[in-house]
Amino acid sequence: MILEIADIRIHTGQNAAFDEAITRGLRTVVSGAHGFRTASVHHCMETPERYVLQIQWDTLEDHTVGFRQSEAFTQWRGIVGPFFAGPPLVEHFQVLLDGV
Amino acid sequence: MILEIADIRIHTGQNAAFDEAITRGLRTVVSGAHGFRTASVHHCMETPERYVLQIQWDTLEDHTVGFRQSEAFTQWRGIVGPFFAGPPLVEHFQVLLDGV
């Protein structure tokens, strides 16, 4: 399993609409992708425009090739992309420690 | 519950020692703090100097007041601080969506 972490900044004042859009996009588009396991979204308390999206994929290529080169990626970006204030920082992670 | 997310960059080439130190620091120091629930650490594949530490606390103040103003915080920073290439970006988050 690898973890995608996306650090997202949205335009100011669009939180309610973005909350609905990212929830809908994950449930209706991303969750159907090959290798998708689960996702979470967290909203920053200090910086209201900031969100952290985390998606577990079976393999790195399930995200970088299978999903990103699919029509589903275009649909997903159509739903959430208009809210982005800039390109999200997206990188992939391996677990060092999970549960202390 | 609130989630602390710390985005950490360490000095190049110190991964093995840092992996040991952050694991030990979480297990022996942070996990005993009032309001601590659980923690995870993920290591970035694209940027080997980057780690994301996530800690669940009962309340914001359990971290920002109870832990940060305690002797335990000094101990914790003594264990992991020497590896940091700069101040970590630490903010707090509320869950919007957990599990899709």
Q: Identify the band that residue A36 occupies on the pLDDT scale cut at 50, 70 and 90.
A: very high
Contact A39 B92 (CB under 8 A): no
Confidence at residue B71, expressed as pLDDT on a 0 to 100 scale: 98
ipTM: 0.96
| DSSP symbol at A1 | -
Q: Identify the band that residue B51 occupies on the pLDDT scale cut at 50, 70 and 90.
A: very high
Asked if B71 reaches chain A (Cβ–Cβ under 8 Å), the answer is no
- Please report which helix (H) or strand (E) contains residue B10, including its range: none
Amino acid at B36: F
| C-alpha triplet A5, A3, B25: angle, nearest 5° | 90
Confidence at residue A6, expressed as pLDDT on a 0 to 100 scale: 98
Distances in whole angstroms, Cα of residue A5 to Cα of each of B20, B27, B30, B53: 23, 24, 24, 12
Contact B47 A91 (CB under 8 A): yes
Confidence at residue A98, expressed as pLDDT on a 0 to 100 scale: 96
Q: Identify the band that residue B80 occupies on the pLDDT scale cut at 50, 70 and 90.
A: very high
How far apart are the C-alpha atoms of B67 and A87, rounded to whole Å? 34
Q: What is the mean pLDDT of residues B80-96?
A: 98
- Tokens linked to A94: 């391996």
Confidence at residue A34, expressed as pLDDT on a 0 to 100 scale: 98
Asked if B40 reaches chain A (Cβ–Cβ under 8 Å), the answer is yes
Q: Identify the band that residue A80 occupies on the pLDDT scale cut at 50, 70 and 90.
A: very high
Confidence at residue A8, expressed as pLDDT on a 0 to 100 scale: 98
The shortest CB-CB distance from A94 to any of B31, B43, B94 is to B43
How far apart are the C-alpha atoms of B83 and B100, rounded to whole Å? 36
Q: Which residue of B has its CA nearest to A95?
A: B42
- What is the rounded radius of gyration, in angstroms, for the C-alpha atoms of chain B? 13
Confidence at residue A88, expressed as pLDDT on a 0 to 100 scale: 98
The percentage of residues in chain B with a pLDDT greater than 90, rounded to a whole number, is 99
pLDDT tens digits along A40-74:
999 999 999 999 999 999 999 999 999 999 999 99
Confidence at residue A78, expressed as pLDDT on a 0 to 100 scale: 98
- Assign domain B2-89 to a CATH class: alpha beta
Domain ranges of chain A: 2-93
How far apart are the C-alpha atoms of A51 and A49, rounded to whole Å? 7
* CATH architecture of residue range(s) A2-93: 2-Layer Sandwich (3.30)
Q: Identify the band that residue A15 occupies on the pLDDT scale cut at 50, 70 and 90.
A: very high
Asked if A95 reaches chain B (Cβ–Cβ under 8 Å), the answer is yes
Q: What is the mean pLDDT of residues B58-77?
A: 98
Contact B97, B15 (CB under 8 A): no
